[in-house]
Structure 1
Amino acid sequence: MQAVVLAAGKGTRLRPLTEEKPKALVEVNEKPIIEDIFENLLEIGATEFIVVVGYLKDNIIDRYGETYQGIPITYAHQREQLGLAHAILQAQPYIDNDFILILGDNIFRANLGDVVNRQREERSDAAFLVEQVPYEEASRYGVLDTNEYGEIVKVMEKPDDPPSNLVMTGVYTFTPAIFRACQSVRPSNRGEYELPDAIDLLLQSGHTIDAIRMNGWRIDIGYPEDREKAEEFLTGKPKPMYED
């Protein structure tokens, strides 16, 4: 399965770490975030990396070139950072079939392979890892609203008043149906084309979407203190806070 890695962001909240490098090259435990992601994707059988680059893109291209451990890398350029749905569309010309998508600012030690397996076995239009976080943190993420049976009825991006604390983690599989949905979304109040809005369009139009509970842990490297927390987890100091 092809793997799309979104690595175009500026990482303004991580400054000064991102003043001279893109967020994906910030090191966690002496390894760039994107390299940790590549290794996770290798473990679950990725056959090609399609890396969406933008801010200081040459730093990534010069460092990794055309392959990583024998896996070919194709680069797609997002000239303006207009949201994740817009970023995914930059990869569309290089996608042949179903693909896995991973955000380039997370450190994972979790069941990423379960998402790929579900896509292959169930032939759903999308699948993604989800986790429960404290309610006060849910507004940082794409939030899932569920009915009394636990079925997903709506997906929303960073709501001010989250309907639940069940959030997407940044690992997804999609069929090419996601591209039409991304083309159909309108800019949010932030002026961006949001991926949760595209997923919600899939959902509302009757496409099959599977949410898989994360088993393990992940840390979204949004602030310098998140990087420090991830290093503590990787070196085995504390136990993960959110673990199924």
Structure 2
Amino acid sequence: MHTPTYPTQAVVLAGGQGSRLRPYTDDRPKPMVEIPGTGTPIIGHQLSWLAAEGVTDAVVSCGHLAEVLQEWLESTELPLRVTTVVESEPLGRGGGLKYAAARLPHPELPWYATNGDIWTRFSLREMAAFHAERDAVATLALARPRIPWGAVETDAFGHITDFIESPPSPYLINAGVYVFSAAFTDLLPERGDHERTTFPGLARERRLAGFPLPNGAYWRAIDTAKDLTEAARELSAAAPPV
């Protein structure tokens, strides 16, 4: 019986400005912001999660206040090997991803990538198996976030039948977690946004897969101060591993 092999290397994109999280990001990069009550910055959670999923080497792409993140990484006991890269000039999301991927220890093997503002837990190994089964070049994790407003249901005649507070979105979104085959790196632009170039091309060729997050998996993008407050409340109530 063939035993599947899973990626052991990852890129974490941690260079965003985090302008909507000010004042939290006035003196630290966005991935260094802590969810109240956890005592762990977002980047610390991500690295622990990656290590628990079998990752031994991570490349962290730094940008805004890079030195603060680098100092934290150097002074913290981490569960995996970490290398940092800093773009000398803005390369865009796709160019930055390609620049960081060049530092992966095994360029001939698949790799994970994650946006630096995501707080989540699910089985990356299951996602990697899904990716391999579909022979995809790239696989995106897909989340179904909750709509931040209350929704109204009506019947065919126009009578209101129910009010639903923050219902799940009818659409899946890119959850900011990826599995990439080794060949994906060469498809990335040297400069620019891969989500406008590389991903659409792969989708047309049916080489881009989407992995829906399992039921019950926690996921939240930390973009605003409100996200911090709500994440703290949700994590306290659900008590998932952090």
Bin of the TM-score, shorter chain as denominator length: 0.7 to 0.9
Partner of 1:157: none
Q: 1:109, 1:218 within 8 Å by CA — same for their partners in 2?
A: yes
Give the equivalent residue in structure 2 for 1:115: 127
Compared with structure 1, are the counterparts of its residues 232 and 134 closer, same or farther at alpha carbon in structure 2 (3 Å cutoff)? closer
Which aligned pairs between 1:73-152 and structure 2 lie closer than 5 A? 73-95=82-104, 96=107, 97-133=109-145
TM-score between the two structures when normalised by the length of structure 1: 0.75
Could you tell me how far apart the structure 2 residues matched to 1:48 and 1:66 are? 17
Q: CA deviation at 1:98?
A: 1.0
Distance across 2 between alignment mates of 1:228 and 1:135:
16
The residue identity in structure 2 corresponding to 1:62 is: E
The 2-side partners of 1:128 and 1:52 are apart by 19
The answer for the alignment partner of 2:157 in structure 1 is none
Question: Does the aligned pair in 2 maintain the 1:86–1:182 contact within 8 Å?
Answer: yes
Question: What residue number does 2:66 align with?
Answer: 57
1:11 corresponds to which letter in structure 2?
G
Say if 2:18 and 2:25, in contact at 8 Å, map to a contact too: yes
Q: Which has the larger radius of gyration?
A: 2
Which letter maps to 2:218?
A: W
Q: Which has the higher strand share?
A: 1
Structure 2 residue 186 is the aligned partner of structure 1 residue 177: no
8 Å contact 1:178–1:199 — kept in the other structure? no
The Cα of 1:70 is off from its aligned counterpart by 4.4
- Partner Cα separation in structure 1 for residue 174 and residue 114 of structure 2: 11
Partner of 2:156: none
- Structure 1 Cα separation of the partners of residues 133 and 54 of structure 2: 15
Per-residue deviation, 1:68: 4.8
CA deviation vs aligned residue, 1:84-122 (integer Å, no higher than 9, x gap): 212201113223221000110011033333212223454
1:11 aligns with 2:18: yes
Q: CA RMSD in A?
A: 2.7
Quote the sequence identity (%): 24
Q: Deviation string for 1:128-162 (max 9, x for gaps)?
A: 2112346789xxxxxxxxxxxxxxxxxxxxxxxxx
Distance in 1, matches of 2:239 and 2:48, equals 23
1:4 aligned counterpart, secondary structure: strand
SS of residue in 1 equivalent to 2:20: helix
Classify 1:46/1:238 alpha carbon distance in 2 versus 1 (closer, same or farther; 3 Å).
closer
CA deviations over 1:212-242 (Å, ceiling 9, x no partner)? 1112121110000001111111111699xxx
Give the 3-state SS of the residue equivalent to 1:59 in structure 2: helix
Aligned to 1:212: 211
Cα distance change, pair 176–67 in 1 and its aligned pair in 2 (3 A): farther
Aligned to 1:227: 228
What does residue 50 of structure 2 align with?
A: 41
Partners in 2 of 1:8 and 1:178 — Cα distance?
21
Instruction: Tell me what 1:203 maps to.
Output: 203
